[in-house]
Amino acid sequence: MQIQTKRKRITFMDRDPVVLVAEDHDDTREILTLLLGARGCHVIAAENGPQAIDLADKLHPDLILMDLKLPLLDGIAVTRLVRAHHSLNQVPIVIVTGYDCPQLHRDALSAGCNHYLVKPIDFEGLLEVITNLLRSAPQPSANRLHYSLVVRSRGALAYDHHLH
C-alpha cells in the first residue's frame, strides 16, 4: 500500500484520498474540510449520524473522521453500522470528540473505531494518524475506487439527498 505525504500532501495509492467528515458543529466541519482539502484530501461532509451513513454508503470514503456526539445517531452507533456494512467494514474510522472520558473511549474502540482523538485537535497529529491509518488500510474495493472518482470530479461535497 502506498501512502505518503508530498509537500505536506496526503496521497493514498497514488491518488488523493476521500475523507468523510461527520461533524455537527459548522465551524469545526468547515475547518476540517479546509485543512484536509489543503493537504490534498477530497472531503465530503455530514452534519448528523444518518447523513454520515448515507454518504459512506453512497461514496465509499477512504477514511471517516467522526464526532462522537452527532445528532440523531451518535458516532458509536454510526461506527457499528459502518462496521456491519460489508463494503465499508475496513474503512478506517477516527473519532474526534470533545469528550475525554475513558468509558467513551473504550465504547468507541469496542464499536470498531481505529483511533480516538480529543478536541481541541492537534492538526499535525491528526494528519499523522490519517497517514498511518491509510498506510495500513486494505486495498479499496472497486466500488470505493469508483465512487472516489465521483467525489474527485465534484470537489468537496455536503450532504445531498439526490447525490448518486
Q: Give the C-alpha separation, 84 to 107, whole Å.
A: 16
Where residue 72 falls (left for φ over 0; alpha for ψ -120 to 50; beta otherwise) is: left
Q: Residues 44, 88: contact at Cβ < 8 Å? A: no
Whole-number average pLDDT of the chain: 83
Share of the chain above pLDDT 90, in %: 68
Q: What is the 3-state secondary structure (H, E, C) of 31-59?
A: HHHHHHHHCCCEEEEECCHHHHHHHHHHH
Superfamily for the 3-154 domain: Response regulator (3.40.50.2300)
For the question of whether the overall pTM of this predicted structure is more than 0.85, the answer is no
The gap between the terminal CA atoms of the chain, to the nearest Å, is: 28
38-83 residue pLDDT tens: 988 999 999 999 999 999 999 999 999 999 999 999 999 999 999 9
State the pLDDT at residue 125.
Answer: 94
C-alpha cell at 106: 473504550
State the pLDDT at residue 11.
Answer: 62
76-94 residue pLDDT tens: 999 999 999 988 999 999 9
Q: Which residues, at least 6 apart from 17, have a Cβ–Cβ distance to it below 8 Å?
A: 10, 11, 40, 41, 42, 61, 62, 63, 130, 134, 148
